[in-house]
């Protein structure tokens, strides 16, 4: 059986760290004992070009790692917003990097969160942490995986001399989590099966 699934597409410019965002989820899902696949869009790589990755997390075996209509989409730039906003399944979640994306969704059948990820990251020290801020916000808005589980996986990306960057990134993720108002936060997706779940 395929089990309970959560399908996530994260998209943005090359260089914004969208692949790392997906990998943070993938590592945390694996360590939580879940099945997971991470699939990048790949192409002639270019800083500033568009990039996205698809993460599927499941309590059972994952058949297709390919997703046409995700439960959750994260748009780090305007082309990604335009491409994936219409594809989110009804009752799904869309997170928008509102520092760079001026557009607003007109959909009423999904939950949309406008997260000023770049602005918040800049205030915390560097815009480069916008991706991690957004992962924190996604954790709060979807309940995909616990914040502390995701923070723990930062170590994979900052080894050796870069290890000192783990702590600022932990903080950035927590700030991102805090950007989602308490009443809008989603309970743990893979523990409690409640009504109004993400289109599963």
Partner 1 sequence: MKAVGTKAVEMMTEVTGEPRVPLGERVLMKGNEALAEAALKAGCRAYFGYPITPASEITSYMARWMQVEGGTFVQAESEVAAINMVFGAAGTGTRAMTASSSPGISLMSEGVSFLAAAEVPCLIVNVMRVGPGLGGIQPSQSDYFQATRGLGHGDFRVIVLVPANLQEMVDLTFEAFSLAEKYRTPVLMLADGVLGQMMEPVTFTRVIDPASMPEPEWATTGASGRPKRVVKSLYLDTGELEEHNVALQQKYRRIEQAEVRWNTYDLDGARILLVAYGTSARVAHHAMELAEERDMPVGLFRPITVYPYPYDALREVVEERGIEHILVVELSAGQMVEDVRLAVEGRCPVSFFGRSGGTIPAPLEVLDAIRNVAEGLPTARAASKKGGAS
Footprint of partner 1 (CB under 8 A): 1-2, 23, 26-27, 30, 35-40, 42-44, 62-69
Q: Which of 116, 114, 126, 112 is nearest to 171 (CA)?
A: 126
How would you classify the pairing of strands 93-97 and 111-115?
parallel
- Rank residues 44 and 102 by Cβ distance to partner 1 and give the closer one: 44
Q: How far is the CB of 83 from partner 1 (least distance, A)?
A: 15
- Rank residues 25 and 138 by Cβ distance to partner 1 and give the closer one: 25
Q: How far is the CB of 98 from partner 1 (least distance, A)?
A: 29
Identify any residues that bridge with 13 across adjacent strands, giving them in sequence order: 50
Distance between CA 24 and CA 20 in Å, rounded?
A: 6
- Rank residues 37 and 77 by Cβ distance to partner 1 and give the closer one: 37
Q: How far is the CB of 54 from partner 1 (least distance, A)?
A: 9
Q: How far is the CB of 64 from partner 1 (least distance, A)?
A: 4
- Rank residues 40 and 187 by Cβ distance to partner 1 and give the closer one: 40
Cα radius of gyration (the chain): 15
Q: Which of 2, 4, 144, 9 is nearest to 62 (CA)?
A: 2
Q: Please provide the DSSP assignment of 61-78 as one string.
A: -------SS-SEEEESSH
């Amino acid at each position: 059986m395929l089990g309970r699934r959560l399908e996530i597409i994260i998209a943005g410019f090359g260089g914004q760290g969208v692949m790392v965002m997906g990998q943070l989820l993938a590592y945390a899902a694996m360590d939580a004992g879940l099945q997971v696949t991470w699939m990048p869009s790949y192409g002639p790589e270019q800083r500033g070009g568009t990039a996205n990755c698809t993460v599927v997390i499941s309590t059972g075996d994952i058949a297709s790692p390919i997703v046409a209509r995700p439960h959750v989409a994260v748009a780090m730039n305007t082309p990604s917003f335009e491409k994936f906003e219409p594809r989110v399944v009804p009752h799904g979640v869309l997170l928008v990097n509102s520092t760079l994306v001026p557009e607003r969704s007109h959909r009423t059948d999904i939950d949309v969160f406008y997260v000023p990820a770049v602005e918040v990251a800049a205030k915390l020290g560097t815009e480069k942490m916008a991706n991690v801020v957004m992962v924190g916000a996604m954790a709060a808005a979807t309940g995909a995986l616990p914040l502390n589980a995701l923070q723990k996986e930062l170590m994979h990306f900052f080894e050796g001399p870069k290890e000192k960057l783990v702590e600022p990134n932990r903080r950035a993720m927590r700030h991102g989590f805090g950007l989602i108002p308490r009443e809008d936060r989603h309970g743990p997706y893979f523990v409690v099966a409640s009504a109004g779940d993400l289109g599963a």
